[in-house]
Amino acid sequence: MRRTVAVLIVALLALTLVACGGGASDEPEPAPDTGAAAPPPPPVDEAVDLSPLEEQVYEPFPVDSELGVPDAILSRLEAGQPMIIVFYDDSQKTTDDQEDIIRSVTETYRGLIDVVSFNLGAYVTQDARGTITVQPGLSDDETAKQVTRMIDADHLDIRFTPFVLIVDDQGYVTWRHRGISDDKTLEREVLRVTE
């Protein structure tokens, strides 16, 4: 019986070796192609990141000593009221989406946080190079001056709308986001400044 089992195992191994190509091949290996090398693949254009993360810096809300801050913000800073500050352009399609997200979060936390919004499209224009200028005829409007000063590179450095800031009761900017914000993230940040 042992001999029969041993013979079957050897025969099975031999068949497996032959079936899997374990034997030497009589065919010579093909010579490497010495023709022209294949052209390199075309360069890949790097995709533009349309919604990069804003650097989250815990810093005091910038108050301009020359022009001041719009009264809607200054009164809340002085009262120690947390707030969501939204900069938007009502000519953009994303404005309604952002407003809906903010409305859904603030309805849950009504009275704990205020929303202050500024329609930048009403105050400024932006050319192809990104230079922001005050709309003609609004240079006498004090709020327009304050808002355009507040969004410049020396203060909040806002270059994209919608742009959302959350300011805590101590007057510190705790969260910045450009583009449409996620409702869960916005709610988490609201809870962080109101609890």
pLDDT band at 30 (very low <50, low <70, confident <90, very high): low
Burial 12-44 (b: 16+ CB within 10 A, else e): eeeeeeeeeeeeeeeeeeeeeeeeeeeeeeeee
Side-chain-facing half-sphere of 158: CA atoms under 13 Å = 25
* Residue 81, pLDDT score: 94
Higher per-residue pLDDT: 164 or 32: 164
Side-chain-facing half-sphere of 145: CA atoms under 13 Å = 10
> Is the pLDDT score of 35 beyond 80?
no
pLDDT band at 101 (very low <50, low <70, confident <90, very high): very high
Neighbour-count burial of 86, counting CB atoms closer than 10 A to its CB (0-12 exposed, 13-18 middle, 19+ buried): buried
Long-range contacts of residues 75-81, Cβ cutoff 8 Å, at least 24 apart: 76/114, 76/116, 76/167, 77/167, 77/171, 80/169, 80/170, 80/171, 81/113, 81/114, 81/169
Domains annotated for the chain, with CATH where assigned, are 59-194 (3.40.30.10)
Q: Mean pLDDT throughout 114-132?
A: 75
pLDDT band at 113 (very low <50, low <70, confident <90, very high): very high
> Is the pLDDT score of 89 beyond 60?
yes
Task: Dump pLDDT digits (tens) for 51-67.
Answer: 456 667 788 888 877 76
Distance CA 161, CA 39 (A): 43
Distance CA 97, CA 82 (A): 23
* Residue 115, pLDDT score: 94
Q: What are phi and psi of 107, to 5 degrees?
A: -65, -35
